[in-house]
Amino acid sequence: MPLKPWSGRFTQATDKLVEEFNASISFDKRLFRHDIMGSIAHARMLAKMGVIGKKEADKVVSGLKAIEKEIDAGKFQFTHALEDIHMAIEKRLMEKIGPVGGKLHTARSRNDQVALDVRLYLRDEIKEMQNLIKNLQKTLTDIAKKNLDCIMPGYTHLQRAQPVLFSHHLLAYYEMFKRDYERLADCFKRVNVMPLGAGALAGSPYPLDRDFMAKELGFSKPTDNSLDSVSDRDFCIEFCAAASILMMHLSRFSEELILWSSQEFSFIELSDAFSTGSSIMPQKKNPDVPELVRGKTGRVYGNLTALLTVMKGLPLAYNKDMQEDKEALFDSIDTVKDCLKVFSPMLAVMKVNKDNMREAAQGGFLTATDAADYLVKKGIPFRECHHIIGRAVAYCIKTSQGLEDLSIDEWKGFSKAFDKDIKKTISVEASVNSRKTKGGTALETVKKRLGEIEREIR
């Protein structure tokens, strides 16, 4: 048996440089389990359709199962000479069960085989990633519940804007991760179609039961065009796009954690177990974990760009360029999973400095809008109210006090419409709790949303 299954028409050995340059085995070996799973289904289908004998199929199947055990046990030799995981396993099969192993590749090409393997593999990874997202959402919900009535300044332009509940702020991330989960579920639908039977590109002259294969392997249906089946990598790109958006969310969250843990904010403190020190400055405690998550977002975006660029301008159907899909895809999978895995436990043990948040919400005239709204209720047009309160703020800045420190006489100096009840209207608590519109930050509204969320993530 020659080393390379395709060597029949060649008179020269492959150059060593080419052998290494061409090989994908160093990274596609992670597909071994799914390659074997696909091959077992293919062999069974071939036997069912009478293309190979039942006994032959049995031999192939038990040979493949034995190879899976060898790989699991670390006893399998992966060499560049065998190019990729598909050829490596086929070669080993023939070593183990003899020439009958050569029947497995009937009615199949590596082109439809690799498309199948990546789809099988990615399906599992998407499910795992969705579980990790759910986990993170649960952690967020727990922290929100524990700190339900904690008030913090809400920001626009990173300037204090209006007071909000910390729980409301956290649940904004819940909503982002919910969309990430849904995007993956949507991507899954297009991953979950079965390409085998496309052959190299044109379909197969054998009587293949593609529906049986799809069912055996848990796919929703076989693909509809053989050329598309072997040249489509949209599903990898879609996954990388969903992964990029998810990383963008984690990166924004990381940025906030980094800011919040600075001495300037002191809203939270990351646990020692999730921080690192400086090799020179003894006092330092650095938020390396969220910084790295923020940084790793770059490589996940890069992988998306790489895939889009690899696929751009490729003629139909398969081209070797497409072997370049794997490292980008695998790297995005690994990176996102690593980030999600560390994020939940880091959040779960971080300390929330409620008092500092509450104090920060007190300064900065955060309830100025509420004071303007107070005058609106007295019938004054909003633009005019805005101006009146603006003057009051300017006065407070000049006299170094907060709106809440103004006496009723001072208020009346700005507008006769002010009454004693302005005091309680502009309290931070009143401001938060007045925002009862669906999706607003009022305590009762956030509580209601938390109730819905608990049903969503059950």
Q: Which stretch binds ligand ARG (CB under 6 A): 37-45, 108-116, 383-391, 396-404?
A: 108-116
Q: Return d(Cα 85, Cα 90) in angstroms, integer.
A: 9
Q: How many residues bind ligand ARG (CB under 6 A)?
A: 10
The distance of closest approach from Cβ of residue 73 to ligand ARG in the complex, given in angstroms and rounded to an integer, is: 24
Is the CB of residue 310 less than 8 Å from the CB of residue 324? yes
The distance of closest approach from Cβ of residue 3 to ligand ARG in the complex, given in angstroms and rounded to an integer, is: 16
Is residue 231 near ligand ARG by the rule CB under 6 A?
no
Is residue 114 near ligand ARG by the rule CB under 6 A?
yes
For residue 48, the tally of other CB atoms under 10 A from its CB is 17
Q: Which stretch binds ligand ARG (CB under 6 A): 171-179, 315-323, 364-372, 441-449?
A: 315-323
Quote the DSSP letter at residue 199: T
Q: Return d(Cα 357, Cα 347) in angstroms, integer.
A: 17
The distance of closest approach from Cβ of residue 210 to ligand ARG in the complex, given in angstroms and rounded to an integer, is: 20
Is the CB of residue 269 less than 8 Å from the CB of residue 284? no
Q: Which of residues 52-91 bind ligand ARG (CB under 6 A)?
A: 84
Is the CB of residue 265 less than 8 Å from the CB of residue 223? no
For residue 197, CA distances in Å to 212, 288, 422 come to: 11, 49, 75
Six token digits for residue 38: 């696909």
Residue from 132, 164, 270, 322 that binds ligand ARG (CB under 6 A)? 322
The label of the residue with tokens 């008179």 reads 11
Is residue 329 near ligand ARG by the rule CB under 6 A?
no
Is residue 111 near ligand ARG by the rule CB under 6 A?
yes
Q: Return d(Cα 65, Cα 33) in angstroms, integer.
A: 10
SS3 317: coil
Say which amino acid occupies 48.
Answer: K
User: Interface mask (CB under 6 A) for ligand ARG, residues 20-59, using x and -?
Assistant: ----x---x-------------------------------
CB half-sphere exposure, 169, CA atoms < 13 A = 22
Q: Which stretch binds ligand ARG (CB under 6 A): 210-218, 294-302, 316-324, 424-432?
A: 316-324
Q: Which stretch binds ligand ARG (CB under 6 A): 110-118, 125-133, 253-261, 300-308?
A: 110-118
Catalytically active residues, by annotation: 157, 278
Is residue 174 near ligand ARG by the rule CB under 6 A?
no
* Contact set with ligand ARG (CB under 6 A): 24, 28, 84, 110-111, 114, 318, 320, 322-323
